[in-house]
Amino acid sequence: MCGGFGHRLREVVSDRPKPLAQIGERPFIELLIRQLIQAGVSRIVLCTGYMGNAISLHVPAWQRYADIVISHEDSPLDTGGAVKHALPLIQSQTFYVLNGDSFCPCDLQLLSTQHQQAHALCTMSLSYKQDCQCFGCVEADQQGRITAFNEKRNACEGWVNSGIYVMERSCIEREPRMQFSLEKDLFPSLCSVGLFGVKTSEFIDIGTPASYREAQQYLADKWERYGS
């Protein structure tokens, strides 16, 4: 998902969309593409919106990694609407969805295996945070079934949504609206019908100037892991 406006980051990255923010000499999104390739993904759909043309210009260079296509929104559809808009370009019943402004070095194949074993509609990666105030906590039972989402309130520690999902087409198709949020609309509605979480490693985002600076330091060594 690469279509966000990136309002908070514009103080330091104003000439490009967030996924193209530089980490060293490369755009952030390239790290996500390489992570997908390492997991065996052969087709990637980039859901673009704000400054989408800038992302499209990079696609020819990335084509050597995978079959990469663009699903562009002429007007904002929110995170859920972006995925629904892209469904005609998605060729499988089960697929990964990644946020274009965060990185979690989890095992995507393990996430997919646990999704299948649970017969889930959607499975999300969860990361532990000492302070969940900026994220909101996710509650799950012993089987990994997500039972509730606690809003961003007082500081507390716990597990949070780290922005990687394995989804079935049917969980998107069940939403009648074309403009909706995964986080606020879809996921709460799936709690009783097949939403699971898998506890993974830490994640980092580039949504604010402060987190972007942290990401530049943290991600420097990740390029080696996902290829040159």
Convert the pLDDT of each residue in 168-193 to its tens digit. Answer: 999 999 999 999 999 999 999 999 89
| In the predicted structure, residue 225 carries a pLDDT above the cut 70 | no
| Res 81 pLDDT > 90 | yes
Q: Are strands 122-129 and 195-199 parallel, antiparallel or unpaired?
A: parallel
What stretch of H or E contains 212? helix 209-218
- Alpha-carbon span 92 to 191, nearest angstrom: 23
**Phi, then psi, of 37 in degrees rounded to 5:** -60, -40
Residue 41's alpha-carbon distances to 47, 68, 118, in angstroms, are 16, 11, 21
Q: First vs last Cα of the chain: how many Å apart? A: 23
SS3 of residue 152 by DSSP: coil
Is residue 150 scored above 60 in pLDDT?
A: yes
How confident is the model at residue 183, as a pLDDT?
94
Concatenating the DSSP letter of every residue in 44-91 gives EEEEE-TTHHHHHTTHHHHTTTSEEEEEE-SS--HHHHHHHHHGGG--
Cα(101)–Cα(9) distance, integer angstroms: 11
Q: What is the pLDDT of residue 54?
A: 95
Q: What is the mean pLDDT of residues 73-102?
A: 97
pLDDT tier, 87 (very low <50, low <70, confident <90, very high otherwise): very high
Higher pLDDT, 151 or 85: 85
What b/e readout covers 108-143, taking b as 16+ CB neighbours within 10 angstroms? beebbebbeebebbbbbbbbebeebeebbbbebeee
What pTM value is reported for the model? Answer: 0.93
Report d(CA 4, CA 77) in Å as an integer. Answer: 10
AA letter at 19: P
Please tell me the distance from the alpha carbon of residue 129 to that of residue 203, in angstroms, as a whole number.
Answer: 9
By C-alpha distance, which of 157, 90, 97 is closest to 123? 97
Q: Comparing C-alpha atoms, which of 196, 211, 181 is closest to residue 102?
A: 211
Give mean pLDDT, residues 188-201.
Answer: 94
Least confident of 21-25, 95-99, 130-134: 130-134
**Structural domains present in the chain:** 8-221 (3.90.550.10)
Q: Residue 192 corresponds to which tokens in the numbers above?
A: 């009783």
Q: Supply the pLDDT for residue 223.
A: 61
Asked if residue 221 has pLDDT above 80, the reply is: no
Mean pLDDT over all residues of the chain?
91
| pLDDT for the residue numbered 155 | 62
Matching residue, tokens 């296509």: 69
